[in-house]
Amino acid sequence: EVQLVESGGGLVKPGGSLRLSCAASGFTFRNAWMGWVRQAPGKGLEWVGRVPSEAAGGTTDYAAPVKGRFTISRDDSKSTLFLQMSGLSTEDTAVYYCTSGSVLVDFWGQGTLVTVSS
Amino acid sequence: IVMTQSPATLSVSPGETATLSCRASQRVNTDLAWYQQKPGQVPKVLIYAASMRATGIPARFSGSGSGTGFTLTISGVQSEDVAVYYCQHYNSWPLTFGPGTKVEIK
């Protein structure tokens, strides 16, 4: 059974930083494109970014609102995905979902809530 | 590429047909997926490649369209279909979702 379990969410002040983690199991993590999708409270879905598998190669993609502030990385030896967020603003308040898939989301984590507020 | 959806909310009686529309600001060929997000749940893929049902999706869900205009049809709506439906293109990065259509039961 595929499982994606996010952690690291919480309350952070504007301008602050936060690092999310996603522990994956039930599939060959190193062969999978991984990503992050977020959903602001009561709002729609927004891709944050995606990272290719090592085999696929290529670069990590970011959505315009987060480019330069967020960094996606992965540790294939630990089947873990990371999202380092800095320069956070209230507009970044959302549930952050860890996802698998390059263009479609095959699997979703349950999400972790990030609240940016003073 | 900006995705738009209409209507924002659709109220249908059980057994009726629901027709949801999605439009892309640029041509995306058939690189279009539909997701269903039920209350309190994570989304799941219903349709990909504009018209292909994902594994395990009931036949009452069908997709059509290409280029810039797409439709999701739910034939014989059931109470369990109450959800927000999102379209998403995957023609190029950035991948973008539409704002969603909320389907309610009368």
Closest residue on chain B to A44 (Cα): B99
Over residues A38-63, the mean pLDDT reads: 96
Alpha helices in chain A (DSSP H): none
Task: Give the per-residue pLDDT at A34.
Answer: 98
* Interchain proximity B45–A105, CB inside 8 Å: yes
Task: Give the per-residue pLDDT at A108.
Answer: 97
Distance CA B25, CA B105 (A): 30
* pLDDT band for position B30 (cuts 50, 70, 90): very high
Does the beta carbon of B5 lie under 8 angstroms from any beta carbon of chain A?
A: no
Three-class DSSP labels, B15-43: CCEEEEEEEECCCCCCCEEEEEECCCCCC
pLDDT, one tens digit per residue, over B39-51 is 999 999 999 999 9
Does the beta carbon of A42 lie under 8 angstroms from any beta carbon of chain B?
A: no
* Interchain proximity B94–A108, CB inside 8 Å: no
| Per-chain mean pLDDT for chain A | 97
* pLDDT band for position A102 (cuts 50, 70, 90): very high
pLDDT, one tens digit per residue, over B49-87 is 999 999 999 999 999 999 999 999 999 999 999 999 999
Three-class DSSP labels, A21-53: EEEEECCCHHHCCEEEEEECCCCCEEEEEEECC
In chain B, residues with a C-beta closer than 8 Å to the C-beta of A50 are: 95
Distance CA A112, CA B42 (A): 12
Q: For A104, which of B45, B93, B94 is closest by C-beta distance?
A: B45
Give me the long-range contacts of B78-81 (CB less than 8 A, separation at least 24).
B78/B14, B79/B14, B79/B105, B80/B38, B81/B18, B81/B36, B81/B105
